[in-house]
C-alpha cells in the first residue's frame, strides 16, 4: 500500500506571505500573476480625478467598501488655482456620492503618506494599493503597499481587488550604530546610490539588521517611502516592538503581521555597515547621485525645503528646530517648512517649534505636497538651487528645467539654510 505524501511548503519571504494570504492561497511563487484583495485603496487630488472618470465607465453603483478607500487632496491643496479647485471638487463630490468615510478635506487633511499611518488606516499585513508611486511608504508598518495607475485604482475601488506579479525580494542588512545626524534618509540615499535607480526594479526591498532595529518608525517610513526610487515594487520592514508601539494605539481594525521564513529565498542579500555612513546628499538629477557630506564641496543654495511625505514627520521637525533654534536663515535663502499633517502642525505650535521656525526667518506652512513636485509654495526659477528633504530631484522636478534640487535629511537641509550653502550642523 502506498501513501501519498504532501509536498513540504517552501519557505517564503514576507512579501510572498502577505500576497499569498490576500490571494487566499497557501503559497505563491516569484513571478506568478495573482489576483489579490486590497485592504486599503487610496488616491490624491492629481490621480483620483482620472480614477473617478474610469470608475464611471465601469457601470457600477457602489464602491467595494466605504471604509477601505481613502481620498486625500494634498498635492495642490489648499487649491492653488481653478484647475486644482475643480479636481478637489470632483473628489469631494465622489466621496459624498458613494459615502466614502475616509475623505480628508483641508483643515483635517495631511500629506497622504504621513496621514494614513497616523490615522491607523494602514496596518501590518495589509495589501495597500494607491494611485501614487510613494504608496510603498506603508511597508514601514509591515504592509505590502504599492503604487498603481489610476485605471487600476478605479477597478480596485469597485472590486477591492488588484492584479500583480509576485516580486522577488532583495534583503538589505544594516549593521553598526548610526553617526550623529544620520537617519533613515541617509540610509536610503546611500542604498540607492549603491544599487542605482533600477537596482531593485519590480522587487520588494526588505530592510533588516541591528541599525534598522534601532531606527524609529519615522525613519522607517522615510526609507520605505523611497523604495520606489530604486525601482522597487515595495519596501518592507518586519513588525517589531517599535512597530507595535506605533500601530496599536492607532489601529482602527484587527491586523495580522507576517515575517519572512528563516530560509526564504532572496534574489540578493546586501550587507551594509551603517556606522560608516555619513550624512548623504543626492546631487541632481537622480536620487542615486548620492555622496557623503564631506565630499560635497562648496555648493550655494537659494532655497531649503523641509517636509513632504518623506520627511515631514514630527521627529523631522524636532531635528529642524534643534538646528534652527537661536539662529537665522541666511539672507539669500528661502526656507520653507511643511509639516506632514494637521496633528503635527498643531503639536509644533503647542510645543514652540513654530515659533522657532518663524523667528529663524523660515516659512511654516499648512500641510501640502506643494513644492515637492513643483506644484506651488516654492517653485524654482532658472539657475536656482534647492536643498530638499523630498524624495526626487529629477530634471525640472521642482520648477524650471535649469534649476537644481539636492536631496538630504532635515538636519542638513536646516543647517544649509543657515549657512547659505550645503553643510552640516557641526559648522554652525
Do the beta carbons of residue 385 and residue 302 sit within 8 Å? yes
Q: How far is CA 120 from CA 70, 117, 126, 141, 145, in A?
A: 12, 5, 12, 10, 15
Q: What is the pLDDT of residue 8?
A: 56
Domain 12-277 matches domain 280-427 at the CATH topology level? yes
Task: Give the three-state DSSP class for 245.
Answer: helix
| Helix and strand element counts for the chain (H, E) | 14, 18
Cβ atoms within 10 A of the Cβ of 261, count? 15
Looking at residue 4, what is its pLDDT?
41
pLDDT at 3: 43
H or E segment to which residue 103 belongs: strand 102-103
What pLDDT was estimated at residue 7?
A: 54
pTM of the model as a whole: 0.94
Distance separating alpha carbons of residues 353 and 345, to the nearest angstrom: 9
- Please, what are the averages of pLDDT over each run of 10 residues along the chain (428 residues)? 53 97 96 97 96 95 96 93 94 97 93 96 98 96 96 97 97 97 97 95 97 97 97 97 97 94 95 97 96 96 97 97 98 97 97 98 95 92 97 93 97 98 95
Task: Classify strands 385-388 and 168-175 as parallel, antiparallel or unpaired.
Answer: unpaired
On whether the CB atoms of residues 129 and 162 are closer than 8 A, the answer is yes
- Residue at grid coordinates 516592538: 241
Q: Supply 55's cell numbers.
A: 470608475
The grid coordinates listed for 395 are 530634471
34 DSSP β-pair partners = 164
Q: Answer yes or no: CATH 3.30.499.10 is held by domain 280-427.
A: yes
- Please name every residue paired with 165 in a beta bridge, in sequence order, or none if there are none: 33
Contact 198, 169 (CB under 8 A): no
Cis peptide before 285 (omega within 30 of 0): yes
CA 89 to centroid of chain Cα atoms:
25
Q: Does residue 324 contact residue 360 with C-beta atoms inside 8 Å?
A: yes
Query: From CA 30, how far away is CA 165, in angstroms rounded?
Result: 8
Burial class of residue 103, CB neighbours in 10 A (0-12, 13-18, 19+): buried
∠ Cα 378 384 388 (to 5°): 55
Q: Are 280 and 190 in contact (CB under 8 A)?
A: yes
CA distance 284 to 372: 14
What's the DSSP call for residue 59? T
Could you give the CA distance from residue 77 to residue 413 in angstroms, rounded to a whole number? 24
Structural domain spans, the chain: 12-277, 280-427
**Closest C-alpha to 139, from 243, 64, 60:** 243
Q: Are 389 and 305 in contact (CB under 8 A)?
A: yes
How many CA atoms within 13 Å lie on the side-chain side of 241?
Answer: 2
Contacts of 56 (CB under 8 A, 6+ apart): none
69 beta partners: 41
Architecture of the CATH domain 12-277:
2-Layer Sandwich (3.30)
Q: What is the pLDDT of residue 252?
A: 86
Q: Which residues are bridge partners to 168 per DSSP?
A: 203
> Quick one: which of 314, 393, 368 has its CA closest to 44?
368
Amino acid at each position: 500500500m502506498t501513501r501519498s505524501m504532501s509536498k513540504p511548503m517552501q519557505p517564503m519571504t514576507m512579501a510572498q506571505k502577505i500576497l499569498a494570504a490576500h490571494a487566499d492561497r497557501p503559497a505563491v511563487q516569484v513571478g506568478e500573476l495573482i489576483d489579490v484583495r486590497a485592504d486599503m485603496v487610496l488616491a490624491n487630488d492629481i490621480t483620483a480625478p482620472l480614477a473617478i472618470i474610469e470608475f464611471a465607465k465601469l457601470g457600477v453603483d457602489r464602491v467595494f467598501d466605504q471604509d477601505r478607500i481613502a481620498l486625500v487632496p494634498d498635492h495642490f491643496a489648499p487649491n492653488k488655482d481653478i484647475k486644482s479647485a475643480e479636481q478637489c471638487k470632483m473628489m469631494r463630490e465622489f466621496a459624498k456620492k458613494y459615502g466614502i468615510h475616509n475623505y480628508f478635506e483641508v483643515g483635517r487633511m495631511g500629506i497622504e503618506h504621513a496621514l494614513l499611518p497616523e490615522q491607523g488606516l494602514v496596518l501590518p499585513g495589509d495589501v495597500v494599493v494607491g494611485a501614487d508611486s510613494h504608496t510603498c511608504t506603508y511597508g514601514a508598518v509591515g504592509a505590502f503597499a504599492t503604487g498603481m495607475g489610476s485605471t487600476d485604482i478605479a477597478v480596485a475601488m469597485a472590486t477591492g481587488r488588484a492584479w500583480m506579479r509576485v516580486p522577488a525580494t532583495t534583503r538589505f542588512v544594516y549593521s553598526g550604530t548610526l553617526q550623529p545626524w544620520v537617519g533613515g534618509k541617509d540610509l536610503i540615499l546611500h542604498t540607492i546610490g549603491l544599487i542605482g535607480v533600477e537596482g531593485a526594479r519590480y522587487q520588494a526591498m526588505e530592510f533588516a539588521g541591528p541599525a534598522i532595529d534601532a531606527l524609529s518608525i519615522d525613519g522607517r517610513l522615510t526609507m520605505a517611502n523611497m523604495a520606489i526610487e530604486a525601482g522597487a515594487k515595495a519596501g518592507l520592514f518586519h513588525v517589531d516592538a517599535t512597530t507595535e508601539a506605533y500601530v496599536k494605539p492607532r489601529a482602527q481594525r484587527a491586523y495580522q503581521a507576517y515575517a519572512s521564513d528563516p530560509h526564504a529565498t532572496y534574489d540578493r542579500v546586501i550587507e551594509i555597515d551603517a556606522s560608516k555612513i555619513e550624512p548623504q546628499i543626492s546631487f541632481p538629477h537622480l536620487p542615486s547621485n548620492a555622496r557623503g557630506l564631506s565630499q560635497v564641496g562648496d555648493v550655494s543654495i537659494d532655497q531649503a525645503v523641509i517636509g513632504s511625505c518623506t520627511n515631514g514627520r514630527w521627529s523631522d521637525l524636532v531635528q529642524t528646530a534643534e538646528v534652527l533654534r537661536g539662529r537665522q536663515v541666511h539672507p539669500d535663502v528661502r526656507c520653507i517648512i511643511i509639516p506632514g499633517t494637521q496633528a503635527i502642525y498643531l503639536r509644533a505650535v503647542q510645543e514652540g517649534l513654530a515659533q522657532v521656525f518663524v523667528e529663524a526667518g523660515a516659512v511654516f506652512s499648512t500641510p501640502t505636497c506643494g513644492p515637492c513636485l513643483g506644484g506651488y509654495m516654492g517653485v524654482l526659477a532658472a539657475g536656482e538651487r534647492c536643498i530638499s528633504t523630498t524624495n526626487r530631484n529629477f530634471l525640472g522636478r521642482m520648477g524650471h528645467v535649469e534649476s537644481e534640487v539636492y536631496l538630504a535629511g532635515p538636519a542638513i537641509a536646516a543647517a544649509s539654510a543657515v549657512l547659505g550653502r550645503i553643510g552640516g550642523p557641526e559648522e554652525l
